[in-house]
Amino acid sequence: MKVKVLHPTIIDSQWLQIDDVVDIEIETAQPYVELGLIEAVDEETIIQSNNNNDGDENTSDDETNDDGGKGPKSGKGK
């Protein structure tokens, strides 16, 4: 599993710096992920997260723009 280092740490006698991306076994990485020292950056996870977030954000933005745009225009015109 690929992980990104968030805080300098040593894993399996290897010194890792911030923003390093390394491949570590899931069992070894799990405790460090739980402590917030590293985060998983598997491509599949990133793609799924982006697709879900983009759809939600676009939907909420569209709704906000429609409602918000009509309110201020009506208020300024009167």
Pairwise pLDDT comparison (40 vs 55), residue with the higher score: 40
55 in a structural domain: no
pLDDT for residue 70: 54
Asked if pLDDT for residue 3 goes beyond 80, the answer is yes
19 in a structural domain: yes
Structural domain of 1: 1-42
Domain count, the chain: 1
Asked if pLDDT for residue 7 goes beyond 90, the answer is yes
75 in a structural domain: no
Alpha helix (H) residue ranges in 1-78: 26-35, 43-77
Pairwise pLDDT comparison (20 vs 56), residue with the higher score: 20
Distance CA 46, CA 58 (A): 18
CA-nearest of 34, 32, 4, 1 to 17 is 4
54 in a structural domain: no
CA 6 to the chain's CA centroid: 13
Question: What pTM did the predictor assign?
Answer: 0.51
Judge contact between 78 and 40, C-beta under 8 A: no
2 in a structural domain: yes
CA-nearest of 31, 35, 28, 30 to 7 is 35
74 in a structural domain: no
63 in a structural domain: no
16 in a structural domain: yes
